[in-house]
């Protein structure tokens, strides 16, 4: 299934992407794609609805698409999870996943603008594979057990302000959490439709120029390792989001470095998970 949310920001409705590509309104059957939905077995109930998606009401043509999940309780992020990206930043390949938090208020829709913070000169791009947790998980016994707690996958842009991140006290979360710093979607593709999440091509263009090309097969820690690892330290709650690191080609790694400016168009794609596009605006 492809889960999608549509409508004005803060008032999105849950929907499904039908076989013909149309957005179908599920709001008569589902309140939202949130913690309660995932924790309460909502995905299983939604499958019956999806089987007759063609009779559900169609969303208005041209309607805004929001993030495919409601604002999560937690957004966890893994840093330097591609060895070639670690190399371009001058960092050592990590022995364990590097964890930081990203503010949930950064989550926005896949076509919403990237807001360049006031005074920023180093706003950067990062295409990433997103994992959505399907049920509460703690102390998972193995990485194999992680398979059962992943609801699905989506496209994410881990927008980063490098001066905030590196030069203002070395706090990664500070440089990762500005408003609209996490365009998400367009869809959440359920895990059963992504049997090989470690063989997905990722790409990102700025103003039509390819800047990032990668494949999830080159991740240092795979999606199941990440979920298992995090569960040893904290409670993963249903509906939580994990973003899993970026391949090489970020602006900080260019020689000389290049960063986003007002008017730039950023386009992201991951195989089978869709595409997103954002225009940069001043906050």
Ramachandran quadrant class, 148 (left: phi over 0; alpha: psi -120 to 50; beta: rest): alpha
Q: Which domains does the chain have, with CATH numbers?
A: 2-65 (no CATH), 69-282 (3.90.850.10)
Cα separation values, 229 from 108, 264, 274, Å: 27, 37, 28
What are the beta bridge partners of residue 170?
none
Q: Residue 89 has what pLDDT?
A: 74
Q: How many CB atoms lie within 10 A of CB 199?
A: 11
Q: Residue 85 has what pLDDT?
A: 74
Q: Is the pTM of this model over 0.85?
A: yes
Q: Is the dihedral of CA 167, 173, 176, 181 positive or negative?
A: negative
Q: Residue 42 has what pLDDT?
A: 96
Mean pLDDT for back-to-back runs of 10 residues, the chain (283 residues)? 97 96 95 98 94 90 97 96 79 90 98 97 98 98 97 98 91 93 98 97 98 96 98 98 96 95 98 98 97
């Amino acid at each position: 299934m492809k889960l999608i949310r549509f409508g004005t920001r803060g008032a999105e409705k849950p929907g499904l992407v039908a076989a013909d590509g149309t957005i179908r309104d599920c709001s008569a059957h589902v309140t939202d794609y949130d913690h309660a939905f995932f924790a309460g077995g909502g995905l299983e109930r939604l499958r019956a609805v999806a089987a007759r998606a063609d009779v559900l009401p169609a969303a208005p043509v041209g309607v805004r698409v929001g993030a495919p999940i409601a604002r999560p309780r937690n957004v966890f992020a893994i840093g330097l999870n591609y060895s070639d990206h670690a190399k371009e930043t001058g960092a050592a390949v990590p022995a364990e996943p590097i964890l930081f938090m990203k503010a949930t208020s950064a989550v926005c829709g896949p076509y919403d603008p990237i807001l360049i913070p006031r005074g920023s000169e180093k706003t950067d791009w990062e295409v990433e594979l997103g994992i959505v947790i399907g049920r509460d998980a703690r102390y998972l016994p193995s990485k194999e057990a992680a398979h059962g707690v992943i609801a699905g996958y989506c496209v994410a842009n881990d927008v980063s302000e490098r001066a905030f991140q590196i030069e203002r006290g070395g706090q990664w979360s500070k440089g990762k959490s500005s408003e609209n710093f996490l365009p998400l979607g367009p869809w959440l593709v359920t895990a059963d439709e992504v049997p090989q999440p470690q063989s997905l091509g990722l790409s990102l263009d700025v103003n039509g120029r390819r800047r990032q090309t990668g494949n999830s097969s080159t991740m240092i820690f795979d999606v199941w390792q990440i979920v298992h690892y995090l569960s040893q330290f904290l409670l993963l709650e249903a509906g939580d989001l994990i973003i899993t690191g970026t391949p090489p080609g970020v602006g900080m790694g260019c020689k000389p470095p290049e960063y986003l400016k007002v008017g730039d168009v950023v386009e992201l794609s991951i195989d089978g998970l869709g595409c997103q596009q954002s225009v940069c605006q001043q906050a």
